[in-house]
Amino acid sequence: RQQYVGKLKFASLEASQGSKKLVVATEKNVVAALNSRSGEILWRHVDKGTPEGAIDAMLIHGQDAITVSNAGRILRSWETNIGGLNWEMSLDTGSFQVASLVGLQDVVKYVAVLKKAAISLHYLSNGHQKWVEHLPGSESTQYQLLYSHGTGVIHVLGIVPQSHLNVLTFSVEDGEITKQVIRVAAQWLKSLNGVCSVVGEAVLVCVDVDTHSLYVCSLETEQEMKQILLQSLDLEFADGFQPRILATQPNVISASRTQFFLQLSPSHFSLLQYKHGLLSHLRDFQQAALVSFATTGEKTVAAVLTCRSELKPGSSDGLHAGSTLEDSRKQESLTCSNQTYNINLYLVETGQRLLDTTITFNLEQSGAKPQQLYIQVFLKKDDSVGYRALVQTEDHMLMFLQQPGKVVWSREESLAEVVSLEMVDLPLTGAQAELEGEFGKKADGLLGMFLKRLSSQLILLQAWTAHLWKMFYDARKPRSQIKNEINIDNLARDEFNLQKMMVMVTASGKLFGIESSSGTILWKQYLRNVKLGSSFKLMVQRTTAHFPHPPQCTLLVKDKETKMSFLYVFNPIFGKRSQVAPPVLKRPILQTLLLPIMDQDYAKVLLLIDDEYKVTAFPATKNVLRQLEEIAHSIFFYLVDAEQGKLSGFRLKKDLTTEESWEVIIPTEVQRIVTVKGKRSNEHVHSQGRVMGDRSVLYKSLNPNLLAVVTESTDTHHERTFIGIYLIDGVTGRIIHSSVQKKAKGPVHIVHSENWVVYQYWNTKARRNEFTVLELYEGTEQYNATAFSSLDRPILPQVLQQSYIFPSAISAMEATITERGITSRHLLIGLPSGAILSLPKALLDPRRPEIPTEQSREENLIPYSPDVQIHAERFINYNQTISRMRGIYTAPSGLESTCLVVAYGLDIYQTRVYPSKQFDVLKDDYDYVLISSVLFGLVFATMITKRLAQVKLLNRAWR
């Protein structure tokens, strides 16, 4: 199991040299502490996955972390050493704006929470509310900023867009407004976030792009803005760029620093100082990508991340300047040509660079840009400044760096969002490949083939002796010292094909190759041109079985907004981009189809159907097009338009055009299509029927073209909701079965396999989760035992149906799959608790009788009981729970008894299951000594008796 936290939203790095943890809050609604030495998770709390659990702010004070979540409704305090909850408070509803720690004299005692219409102050020790005050004029005024610096007052800044600013001053003790509301005219100001910041002794600094100037105003003494033109400092804004201000307040009981960063363009920052009414320019940073402030003791430094070579304009979105400018708008960002970056420290008072503080690191492997920079500064024994840096890149990778550029650890947080997954067999070893190479070429002649056989036998002998030598060498060492490190060079298929390569695609557009037995990441590839929210489909076109051709995977990426797609073809074992050029897709793709026909290089043919119903084949060689012409009459596909409630079937013509063959309309005003589920193409069915108690056979209806369509009612009233299920033949459009579950609602989880469909839903009347199972049978006689055709099926199958009560909600569901389909099937059910339940399919059998008869006992049918119990011994992941499980993937192994399982969500977990026990493997406690001694004894006895028999025969002959 591997655990993740997701993309960082807030992070706090303790400012002491010996500190061992970083506290983070993420976009996955997780609060966690990471070990700063190794990057491992010390503790982690996972909130709801919905917007209700979203963390809006995180503040750190000493050993406590204060978080505001659920749009400002919940205030929590965590103990950062062990992750315990100190206290939790429920706040009044209202749109959350900002939270801040508040100090009085020299002690930080309170936390202030600013909402749209009110401000409240809470004690840090127990969370109790000290006071809450309503904000005047909150209908027209947007209150967005909060500031205090230990003087006993809190300043709240509100804005009436394009009119004026309101400055309120509250007393910390009783919440009274100590001064009358100051009204500052500011017609040019639309918002305060990012545009304005407080520096020094409560001086508000705002930037205006139209007049190319800064405006300053003291919150305590002045009532109007003072304009300072930036031309006087020779500073210019980039065209179309919204400038931003980044200031720092190292301690809430003392004033902010008078220095601040002004971002003039995506890669241009200036360090300015406003002191005693004068604005001065300290330093210019031309090629900067990110900036951040950090403080240790009395020293405040500015960290600037720059590109070592020149930045070039790129086309991808989003550049985040420091931790507070997170919500930066989409803007033209910059690409660093050689992917090498420097981090330098500068003293804020003067802007001069601190010597020996450069960290150099390279992102060439991933090709992603840095997105956030967090700094941990500490004073060394000689009073010089040392630091470590945490960098988050746009592909959600975290890197923890120390001087002069050593990567202490890195974490691949994009694996918290796996969206697609396939398992690929590992390649053959060199020796196995040599043996494979012996076959297939008849032109070599007898002598050539004999010499080839000799050379391959020599290679096998060499490999065997090397293996023996390693065994003897390792046997002398203690077990802890034996290194079985897995890397790309020594990857090889094991005897029973239990180790595989897991190819994972994540939502950020990053691909991973992970070795299944150890979880080692062997390769990773970042696709830069993938937009957020894109959908992915991963297909294996060629496996490792076709040596010497390399395996080939194809990834289809579809943009959410433009609906345009592109193909990425790569080798799943090494992660390298393939030499094969995929077709350029000029139209949005609606459906993909992986055909069983292959080209001359053994790559399966992929058909892509666009929105004009035209078909593109990949690869499109002459050989493939000729094969497609021959079998075009038997290629059918379906399209689903959930918005219009339409399912339509098409058939392929010889000239690779399509024609519509059927259409099913499901009225959208009554119900909407939720899921369409077909069968897995790699599934094998071993038995065609079931032997009943009277020795007759009940034949399964095995239609490979069957689609299970699930619909939900558009009416959400609990009395009128329903779930509909339709079983539709994908070739003819014939509705084979339809049923409606009244007073039921989703989310619906469905598994479709062999001749059965199992789906789960929420019963609103009985207020419980239920399973319904459908099984399809032809009857006691088969219509056509040799071949199946959807076009020739006059008799509808018999459908058996039964429902069961399940005591828990479920997160994911999948059926086990094996090489030959002999092993009995189990349902793997992911529970919200993080456990995976392995439930025998026999428990969800619609033929379970209410009253057992002689025949049902003969057939080993379990008597019907509506409750399906959850037994803890059926959990396949024991205590290795998987947070927020999104999917379960199953794959067959080389052993018929064994199925490989990968569950993914916030964590990734891989294991093996044995639905019918390990019937094809000797048990661990198998008595080798006894069986060997018996065999040796028998051989010895045979030899003695043979000798005695010979003596007896000789004696008889002499008589």
pLDDT, residue 332, reads 36
Query: How far, CA to CA in Å, does 202 sit from each of 197, 274, 466?
Result: 10, 11, 74
Query: Following CA atoms 128, 131, 135, 139 in sequence, which dihedral angle do they give, to the nearest 10 degrees?
Result: 40
Other CB atoms within 10 Å distance of the CB of residue 145? 22
Mean pLDDT along residues 706-715:
92
- Output the six-digit token pair for 450: 């004999």
Q: Is the pLDDT of residue 476 over 60?
A: yes
| Average pLDDT for the chain | 86
For residue 209, the surrounding DSSP H or E stretch is none
- What amino acid is encoded at 557 in this protein? V
Summarised one tens digit per residue, pLDDT across range 360-408 is: 888 877 678 888 999 888 888 887 888 889 999 988 999 999 888 888 9
Q: Residue 212: which residues within 8 A CB-CB, separation 6 or more?
A: 229, 230, 231, 236, 237
Of the pLDDT bands very low, low, confident and very high (cuts 50, 70, 90), residue 795 is confident
Per-residue pLDDT tens over the stretch 405-454: 888 999 999 999 999 999 999 887 766 666 666 655 555 677 877 887 78
Beta partners for residue 196, in sequence order: 206
CA 283 from chain centre, in angstroms, equals: 41
User: In angstroms, rounded to a whole number, what is the distance separating the alpha carbons of residues 39 and 4?
Assistant: 11
Better-scored residue on pLDDT, 527 or 447: 527
Nearest one of 564, 276, 573, 235 to 422, comparing CA atoms: 573
Residue 313 has pLDDT above 60, yes or no: no
pLDDT in tens, 78-115: 998 888 999 999 988 888 888 888 888 778 888 999 88
**pLDDT for 479:** 60
Q: Are strands 129-134 and 142-147 parallel, antiparallel or unpaired?
A: unpaired
Q: What amino acid is encoded at 717 in this protein?
A: H
E strands, 754-904, where?
Answer: 756-763, 768-779, 798-806, 812-815, 826-830, 836-840, 887-892, 899-904
Q: What share of the chain is helix, strand, coil (3-state, %, to 5)?
A: 10, 45, 45
H-run or E-run covering 792? none
Query: For residue 411, what are the β-bridge partners?
Result: 398
pTM, two decimals, is 0.87
Contact assessment for residue 393 and residue 365, using Cβ atoms and an 8 Å cutoff = no
